[in-house]
Amino acid sequence: MQEVDIILLLELMGLAMGVFITIGCVFYDKQKAKNSPTVKTFPPLKQADISVLKRKEPRFSAVHFTKWAGQLFRHLATAYQVAELEPIRPCMTDEFYESCRNRLIALEKQGEREVYKWIEVRNAVITGCRVQEQQEQLIVTLQFTTICYKMDMKTNRIISGNADTTARFQYELAFVRYHAQQKKAVPRAEYCPHCGAPIEKKGQGQCDYCKSKLAVAVSGNRNRSWMLCRCAKIEW
């Protein structure tokens, strides 16, 4: 075989190899895109008409309320993580408290723990408002990102979720306020729920004896007459 023929053959083989590699890369990219989870963008939120509530309470601020709702949600996530609901107990209705408590008991029996890290609220809007004769209700929709997973308490092995991936969630928080509570806010506990020590200072955020946090979601906040009665994940 002449030298020219050998060179031509090598060029053809190189060209064929290049085409094969290109086709393989295109196929791999398509499969990767097909198997990769699609990152959904948050839908726009429209604020509910709160004019009726504003007429009854001109000082009510939707901005302050939604900010407080976001803080309360973070405290609730922390409560699940450390299995301690008492610091936010004054901000929950009895029914919702029992529901959360039963859930924690179920997780403890299963030897599991829910972990939430770096909760970042991206949007918080009052999406529902109802003023009735005996009570008022507000619904706040939270859009946030976080790293969340469930782990085995004995082995610290992750059971579900991912400790390295940030996920997007949308939750609805329902609040209720009874008319009787509008005149008199929910009273602050006089004793630490953790060690029983007396709380001597008004607005005190930490126990002087055991250093536990005291009703962090209630202390010094103008929305303390509102209580969380439901917290649910919603799809979009």
Alpha carbon distance 225, 215 (integer Å): 13
Residue range 53-100, pLDDT digits in tens:
999 888 899 999 999 999 999 999 999 888 989 888 888 999 999 999
In a domain, 117, yes or no: yes
Which residues, in sequence order, are CB contacts of 168 under 8 Å at separation 6+? Answer: 39, 40, 42, 143, 144, 145
In a domain, 73, yes or no: yes
Average pLDDT, the chain: 80
Angle CA 221–222–223, to nearest 5: 95
Amino acid type, 148: C
Domain of 104 in residue numbering reads as: 51-185+218-233
In a domain, 98, yes or no: yes
In a domain, 31, yes or no: no
* Model confidence band, residue 232 (pLDDT cutoffs 50, 70, 90): very high
In a domain, 32, yes or no: no
Alpha carbon distance 113, 67 (integer Å): 27
User: What are the Cα distances from residue 22, in Å, to 28, 31, 32?
Assistant: 10, 14, 15
Encoded tokens for 199: 């709380």
Encoded tokens for 92: 């929950």
Q: Which CATH number goes with the domain that contains 136?
A: 3.10.450.240
Alpha carbon distance 221, 75 (integer Å): 14
Number of domains in the chain: 1
Quick check: 138 pLDDT over 80? Answer: yes
Alpha carbon distance 184, 25 (integer Å): 68
Exposed e or buried b per residue across 158-181, where buried means at least 16 C-beta atoms within 10 angstroms of its C-beta: eeeeeeeeeeebbbebbbbbeeeb
In a domain, 213, yes or no: no
* Predicted local confidence at residue 115, as pLDDT: 93
> Quick check: pTM over 0.75?
no
In a domain, 112, yes or no: yes
* Model confidence band, residue 183 (pLDDT cutoffs 50, 70, 90): very low
Other CB atoms within 10 Å distance of the CB of residue 143: 20
In a domain, 122, yes or no: yes
Long-range contacts of 85-88 (CB under 8 A, 24+ apart): 86/193, 86/194, 87/193, 87/212, 87/213, 87/214, 87/215, 87/216, 87/217, 88/215, 88/216, 88/217, 88/218
